[in-house]
Amino acid sequence: MCGIVGYVGKQSASPVLLEGLKRLEYRGYDSAGLALWEKGGFEVYKKTGRVEVVGQLVTKAKPASNMGISHTRWATHGGVTDANAHPHVSFDGKLALVHNGVIENFATLKRELSSKGIEFKSETDTEVLVNLIAYLYKSAIDEGSERDSATLLTAMRAALAQVEGTYGIGLICTDLPDQLFGARKGSPLVIGIGRKENFLASDIAAFAGRTQDVVYMHDNEVVHLRADDFTVTTIQDAAVAPVISHIDWEVENSELGSFKHYMLKEIFEQPTALENAMRGRFSQDGSTAQFGGLNLDARELRQVDRILFLGCGTAWHACLVAEYLIEKYARIPVEVEYASEFRYRNAPMFRNTLVFVVSQSGETIDTLEAQREAKRKGFRVLGITNVVSSTIARENDGGIYQHSGPEIGVASTKAFISQIHIAGMLALYLGRMRDMSFSEGGEIVKALKTVPGMVAQILTMADQIEAIARKYKDYEDFLFLGRQLMFPIALEGALKLKEISYIHAEGYPAAEMKHGPIALISPKCPTLAFAHKGEIFKKSLSNIQEIKARKGPVIAITNAGKEFPDGLADDVIHIPECHDIAMATLSVIPVQLLSYYIAVLRGCDVDKPRNLAKSVTVE
C-alpha cells in the first residue's frame, strides 16, 4: 500500500506535499514523512501517526524548499516506528527515497550491502533500495563519473534491475537541485504536468485541482522531472513517448459536513449513489438496462455461457450477490473467486467465459493481477469500478462505472450498495437477452427504481438501530446468518462489524450453523439473523428458534412485517418488502448502521480502523 507524493516547482513544496498526502491517506496511515531538498542536504520530517502529526512538525519549521518527496505508510517490512517511516536517507546522506511496494529479495541485497560496510538504521526493505542506489552512484563517481542526472539514472536502473518485487518510488539527491526521479513496477505512479511545476504521485487525487494533465506511468519506466520538463525512459534506457491524458476533475463533495464520520455520511449518501448508478441506464421502453461501456454487442453477450466474478473483501461479497442474481434472472452459470486466489491457481476456464472484476478503488493489487492473468489467457475482462481512470479501469476491456462519488471511510458502504445494484441491473440486461419476458423486465426496472426511496426510508430508522447497538456493544463475538441472497449480506455484516469495532464476527449460511458454528451459541454470543418472506422464511424462523433454545441473543432483520412472530427475537429490525432483485441492497443498510454505532460506542476510529488501508496495493 502506501502513498507517495513528489513535487518540483516554484511553490513552497511542503504545503503541496502535505495536501497530497492527506488525499492519499486511504493508502495507509501508520506513519508519514517528508524529505525536502535543501542546499547541501535534506530536511527530513517523519513520525508515526497520521499526516496531521507530521504536518504539525513541518508547519512549526516553515521550510522554504521548492522540491521534495513524501510518503504515507502502511507497514509491510518493519514495525510502525519513526525509524521505519519514510523517506529513507542513504548511508552517505546523498539520496532520499519514498517507496510503495515490496522488495522481495531485500534480505539478500541487505546482506551484500552490509558486507561492504553499509549500516542500516531501519528494518525496511526501502532502506535497502536507497542504499543500493547510493552505493552504485557513489561507485560511479569514485570511478570518475560526473555528479549529474545521467549518473544517478544509471545507478537507479542498475539497482532496479537487481530488485525482485514491486515498487513505485520517488527519489531526490543532494547533488541535483530541482530534480526529482521516479520509477514504477507493479505499484501505481502518475506524473502531473503543471506550469513550471511537476508532480509525481501514487494517485492523481494527490494533485487534484493543481493540474489537469497527467501521464500514467507503465511498469518498468523511469521518470526524471524538472520544474519545466520531464523525461520518461524504460529501465533499459529506451526512450518512451509519454501519453498525456487530460483529466476533468469532478467537483465532488469530500467534506464531512454535519456528519461525525465519513462512514456515516457515506451510508446516508446511499440513495444518491443508487440514483447515480442507474442514471441513463434503462432502455427507452422501460424493459431492460443498458450499459455504454461494455464494448460488447448483444450478439457477443449472447455467446457468453459462463461468467467469472473476481474481487476482494466487500467487493467479493458483491460478486456473490451478482452470482445469485445473474444465475436466477439470466440463467447463466456464474463462478466467484477471490482475486488473490485466482491469480495463482491456474484454474481451468471454459472457452466462452466472460470475466468481471469488481473493485471500488480500481487499484487493489490482487484484483488487478487477477485481471491481468485473465487477459493473458485471452479472456475478455470487464470491470465494475468506482474510481474513474484507476489502473483496473484503464487496463480492462470495458466495464461499468459506479459513479458512487468518493468513498473515504475505509469500510466500504455506498460503493458496495452500488455494486450490488449494478449486479441487479446486469442480471436484468443479460436476462432480457435470454429468457426473460418484456413484462418481467418492466417489473424489474420499476422495482430497481423504487430502491433509493426505500433505502431513504430505512435510514430514518438510524435512532432505533443506535439504541439496539447500545445493548450489544460490549459483546466480543457475533454470528451473522443468512440464507441464499442473504448469505453474502451476512458475510458483509460480519466484515463490517469486525473491521471497524474489532469484535470477532462470522457470517454463515443459516442452515450451516448446525454443522459447527452452533457450538458458539451462548448468552455471550449474539446472532444477527436475516428472515425475509419467501420460500425459506419458515426455515429461517426455525434457525432463530434453534438459537433461542440455546439462550443465544438474536437480532432479526425481516421484511415480513406482522408475519414475523412476536417475541421470537430479542430485537427486530423491520425493513420494507421489496422485489427479490433489491433485497440485498435494502438488507445491508441496518447492518452497516449497527456496525457503525457499535464501533462509535466502543470508541473506535471508524474511518481509519487499525491495521487497515482503503486501497490494498501490496500482496
What's the min distance (Å) between Cβ of 245 and ligand AGP? Answer: 21
Quote the cell numbers at residue 213: 494533465
Closest CB to ligand AGP among residues 288, 419:
419
Is residue 531 within 8 Å of residue 503, measured between CB atoms? no
Is residue 396 within 8 Å of residue 379, measured between CB atoms? no
Range in contact with ligand AGP (rule: CB under 6 A) among 309-317, 421-429, 467-475, 568-576: 309-317
What's the min distance (Å) between Cβ of 264 and ligand AGP? Answer: 14
DSSP 285: T
CA angle 507, 277, 207 (to 5 degrees): 95
Closest CB to ligand AGP among residues 13, 315:
315
Closest CB to ligand AGP among residues 363, 571:
363
Residue 418 CA neighbour count, 13 Å, CB half: 32
Is residue 270 within 8 Å of residue 596, measured between CB atoms? no
**Helix (H, G, I), strand (E, B), or coil: what is residue 178?**
coil
Quote the cell numbers at residue 327: 444465475
Range in contact with ligand AGP (rule: CB under 6 A) among 229-237, 306-314, 371-379, 595-603: 306-314
What's the min distance (Å) between Cβ of 619 and ligand AGP? Answer: 12
Write down the residue that cell numbers 516547482 correspond to. Answer: 9
- Whole-angstrom distance, CA of residue 348 vs CA of residue 486: 29
Closest CB to ligand AGP among residues 270, 364:
364
Closest CB to ligand AGP among residues 27, 46:
27
Q: Select from 54, 315, 422, 465 the one that contacts ligand AGP (CB under 6 A).
A: 315
Q: Spell out a b/e string for 254-290, using b for 16 or more CB atoms within 10 Å of the CB, else e.
A: eeeeeeebbbbbbbbbbbbbbbbbbeebbeeeebbbe
385 Cβ contact partners less than 8 Å away, ≥ 6 residues apart: 357, 358, 359, 360, 361, 362, 392, 393, 399, 400, 401, 402
What's the min distance (Å) between Cβ of 103 and ligand AGP? Answer: 23
User: Rule CB under 6 A: which of 383-412 touch ligand AGP?
Assistant: 410-412
User: Rule CB under 6 A: which of 458-477 touch ligand AGP?
Assistant: none
Report the catalytic residues.
2, 614
What's the min distance (Å) between Cβ of 392 and ligand AGP? Answer: 8
What's the min distance (Å) between Cβ of 293 and ligand AGP? Answer: 18
CA angle 329, 332, 338 (to 5 degrees): 105
User: Rule CB under 6 A: which of 204-223 touch ligand AGP?
Assistant: none
Torsion sign over Cα 282, 492, 508, 596 = negative
Relative to beta strand 554-558, strand 353-359 is: unpaired
Closest CB to ligand AGP among residues 36, 315:
315
Site for ligand AGP contains 313 (CB under 6 A) = yes
Q: Select from 314, 418, 540, 585 the one that contacts ligand AGP (CB under 6 A).
A: 314
What's the min distance (Å) between Cβ of 596 and ligand AGP? Answer: 12
Is residue 532 within 8 Å of residue 354, measured between CB atoms? no
Strands of the 504-509 sheet, one edge to the other: 504-509, 477-482, 527-530, 554-558, 571-574
Closest CB to ligand AGP among residues 366, 571:
366
**Per-residue contact track with ligand AGP, 336 to 375, x per CB under 6 A?**
-----------------------xxx--x--x--------
Note if the bond before 523 is cis, omega within 30 degrees: no
What's the min distance (Å) between Cβ of 364 and ligand AGP? Answer: 3
Closest CB to ligand AGP among residues 67, 616:
616
Quote the cell numbers at residue 488: 453474502
Q: Select from 126, 174, 615, 617 the one that contacts ligand AGP (CB under 6 A).
A: 615
**Per-residue contact track with ligand AGP, 564 to 593, x per CB under 6 A?**
------------------------------
Closest CB to ligand AGP among residues 131, 412:
412
Closest CB to ligand AGP among residues 198, 412:
412
DSSP letters of 205-271?
GGGTTT-SEEEEPPTTEEEEEETTEEEEEETT--B--PPPEE----------TT-SSHHHHHHHTHH
User: Rule CB under 6 A: which of 484-503 touch ligand AGP?
Assistant: 499
Size of the site for ligand AGP (CB under 6 A): 15
- Whole-angstrom distance, CA of residue 1 vs CA of residue 273: 27
Give the residue closest to ligand AGP by C-beta: 313
Closest CB to ligand AGP among residues 270, 367:
367
What's the min distance (Å) between Cβ of 349 and ligand AGP? Answer: 22
Tally of CB atoms within 10 A around 387: 23
Quote the cell numbers at residue 384: 465494475
- Whole-angstrom distance, CA of residue 84 vs CA of residue 251: 36
Distance of CA 468 to the CA centre of its chain: 30
What's the min distance (Å) between Cβ of 371 and ligand AGP? Answer: 11
**Helix (H, G, I), strand (E, B), or coil: what is residue 180?**
strand
DSSP 318: H
Q: Select from 4, 205, 616, 618 the one that contacts ligand AGP (CB under 6 A).
A: 616
What's the min distance (Å) between Cβ of 360 and ligand AGP? Answer: 3
Start-to-end C-alpha separation, the chain: 9
> Which residues would be at the binding site for ligand AGP (CB under 6 A)?
312-315, 359-361, 364, 367, 410-412, 499, 615-616
